Structure 1
Amino acid sequence: MRFGVLLDHQYAKGEPLAPRIGELVELTETVRDLGFDSIFGIHHYLSSLQTLQPLSLIARLIDHSGEMEIGTGILILPLGNPVHWAEEIASIDQLSGGRFVLGIGSGYREDEFAAFGLRRSQRTRRMVESLAVMQQLWSGEPVVHHGDHFQLDGQVCSVLPVNGEIPVWIGANSPAGIARAARLGHAWLSPGNVKRNWAVGNLATYREELVAAGSSPEGRTYPIHRDLYIADTQAEAMAFADTFPKASYAEYVQYGMDYFETLWEEIKAKAFFFGTPDEVVEKIEDFAAGGFNHFVFRVQWLGCPHETSVRILERFAAEVLPRVRANVELEVTTR
């Protein structure tokens, strides 16, 4: 079982970014020193918030990340050209010594696609074709590709990944998207704001789709995003949810996700890993029993003090992580 952190590098307009970048470096070092396994950045253009671009940020953090995996969670692949993505990502993978994980998604914000002169309705096809072109480029062989969106006539990628390939996680929250990830043979990245039964049920379906596509479900990474907060009482945790986390999720309402407003009480109670150490251990073990084995936690939200995020991580490392890992080792030795 592995644990990572999803950086929330979005800030209010007008806020100086230099101090926030320093905090991201410090948080990365904290995550590294506390024994986490991975760290990821997010991706948007033209946001209502200042949003540092993830590939640039990840490159900045490489020297502070130790041996952790680093990557995107997610990169909106249809908004770029696969030649650009392939060479940028291979470059970062080389800079990190082969530690990059590519989390991708098809995107959803209409204004992003309009600004790039793209049709939102084609986003899934562009994502799938982009990924196919990128993987061909990473082979190091001349690529001949005549698709619906991209054309190559024997070009060769100038930079290749350290290990010849990049692990891919595909973010999806629809049955069709989850099945597609399985058919493509890549990990499905479960979203962080869904309830337990939805996540576990769709993971079971994803594993069935893997088998149907001729792939073994064994020995794979099954990642999931979760918001994390550790408190002395459940009431304290729920009260905290109504502060900075609620403000962050309220930003999504303007993009048509009004359920973050109408279903807020249900989301914070049933989707977040908010609670006492005992409750968080129970949630992790419950999801692990359902098949998830790489938990990527969000501990930053709009306006949340840096010290609060660090404190969450420290409490997790001291009061949750040893117990979870000990329970996993016990389970393995008693099989």
Structure 2
Amino acid sequence: MKFGILLDHQYEPGDDLHRRTGEIVEYVQHVRDLGYDSVFGIHHYLSSLSTPQPLPLLSRLIDHSGTMELGTGILILPLGHPVHWAEEIATIDQMSGGRFVLGIGSGYRDDEFASFGIERRTRVSRMNEALDVMRQLWTGAPVTHKGKHFELDGVTCSVLPVQRPHPPVWVGANGPIGIARIANQGLPWLAPSNVRRNWAVGNLADYRRLRSAAGFSEDGAVFPIHRDLCVADSFDDAYAIAGEAVQRSYGEYVQYGMDYFETQWEGIKEKALFFGSPDDIAAKVRDFADAGFNHFVFRAQWLGLPIARSIEIVERFAREVMPRFRP
């Protein structure tokens, strides 16, 4: 069982990002010393919130993260060229000594695709082709490729990753078609944070069945999931600490067509959040672990919540919940 942290590096426009980066460094140092296994950054362009880009931020954290895995949760792969991504990711894998995890997704925001001159309907095929090209580049051999979206003529990647054949790749998806595609590729499905328990567990069962039918073994397989975490004396106490901040953070997605974060908030609040006492949280972790999830990536930061509160949350989980799942 592994436990990681999802950094929520989104701030009000005009915020002091130098100061905020210092807070992130301090936060990651705490997470490192508490025995967490991984730390992940998020990715968006042109956001309504000031959102530092994940690869520079993760590079800043290399020397403060100990032996933790560092990754993207997720990187919007269709918005970049595979040559760019391949060399950037190989560089950070080298710098970190082979600790990088590449979490990818196809994206959804219309303004991002329009601004890059990319048709949104092509995002899945672009993502799959880009990943295929990146894998070829990471072999170190000359790559000639003529596909639907990209063409390369005998080029060789100048930087190769430490991890061979390449860093682990996790893929995010929020619907059955995408989850089935990931299963048939044999890649880990990164389950989203905002879905209710039965949806996450049911789709994991379908994913594992399809993955097995495609001939992939579960030996050493990773089944990761994002969850929002607040540990307190009770659910009500946890919600008093972080409820307004988490609802505010999810409320930012309404402008991108996700109005269910507003209309269905009570259901999400009750059935998706990992909020509650240590016993409550341990029971939730055990329930999801029994279903097969084995790498929990927790977000304990939200818009407007002081970083000291986030540190208290991850400390209490490490002290009162994590030992129940460790030898």
Q: TM-score, normalised by structure 1?
A: 0.96
Partner of 2:131: 131
Partner of 1:243: 244
CA distance in 1, matches of 2:106, 2:96: 26
CA contact (8 A) 2:106 2:123 kept: yes
Do residues 231 (structure 1) and 232 (structure 2) align? yes
Partner of 2:13: 13
CA contact (8 A) 2:71 2:100 kept: yes
Q: After alignment, is 82-91 or 202-211 more displaced?
A: 202-211
CA distance in 1, matches of 2:59, 2:242: 31
CA distance in 1, matches of 2:196, 2:242: 16
1:275-327, Cα deviation, whole Å (9 max, x unpaired): 000000000000000000000000000011010000001101111111232xx
Residues 132-151 of structure 1 correspond to what in structure 2 (within 5 A)?
132-151=132-151
CA contact (8 A) 1:241 1:268 kept: no
Partner of 1:190: 191
CA distance in 2, matches of 1:19, 1:264: 32
Partner of 1:333: none
Give the SS at the match of 2:154. strand
Q: CA deviation at 1:239?
A: 3.2
Measured on the aligned residues, the alpha-carbon RMSD in Å equals 0.9
Q: CA deviation at 1:17?
A: 1.2
Q: CA deviation at 1:238?
A: 2.9
The one-letter code matched in structure 1 to 2:74 is: I
Q: After alignment, is 107-116 or 11-20 more displaced?
A: 11-20
Partner of 2:80: 80
CA contact (8 A) 2:242 2:305 kept: no
Give the SS at the match of 2:321. helix
Do residues 38 (structure 1) and 45 (structure 2) align? no
Give the SS at the match of 2:75. strand
CA distance in 2, matches of 1:131, 1:49: 28
Partner of 1:317: 318
CA distance in 2, matches of 1:159, 1:184: 26
The one-letter code matched in structure 1 to 2:193 is: G
CA contact (8 A) 1:238 1:268 kept: no
CA distance in 1, matches of 2:287, 2:25: 32
1:192-236, Cα deviation, whole Å (9 max, x unpaired): 011111111111111111122111123200000000001112221
Q: CA deviation at 1:149?
A: 0.3
Partner of 1:292: 293
CA distance in 2, matches of 1:111, 1:176: 24
Q: CA deviation at 1:242?
A: 3.1
Alignment length (residue pairs)? 326
The one-letter code matched in structure 2 to 1:280 is: I
CA distance in 2, matches of 1:163, 1:195: 34
Give the SS at the match of 1:226. strand
The one-letter code matched in structure 1 to 2:121 is: S
The one-letter code matched in structure 1 to 2:48 is: S
Partner of 2:205: 204
Partner of 2:303: 302
CA distance in 2, matches of 1:35, 1:140: 35
Q: CA deviation at 1:259?
A: 0.5
Partner of 1:332: none
CA distance in 1, matches of 2:178, 2:63: 35
1:46-91, Cα deviation, whole Å (9 max, x unpaired): 0000000000100010000000000100000000000000000000
Q: After alignment, is 238-247 or 43-52 more displaced?
A: 238-247
Partner of 1:156: 156
CA distance in 2, matches of 1:212, 1:153: 36
The one-letter code matched in structure 2 to 1:42 is: I
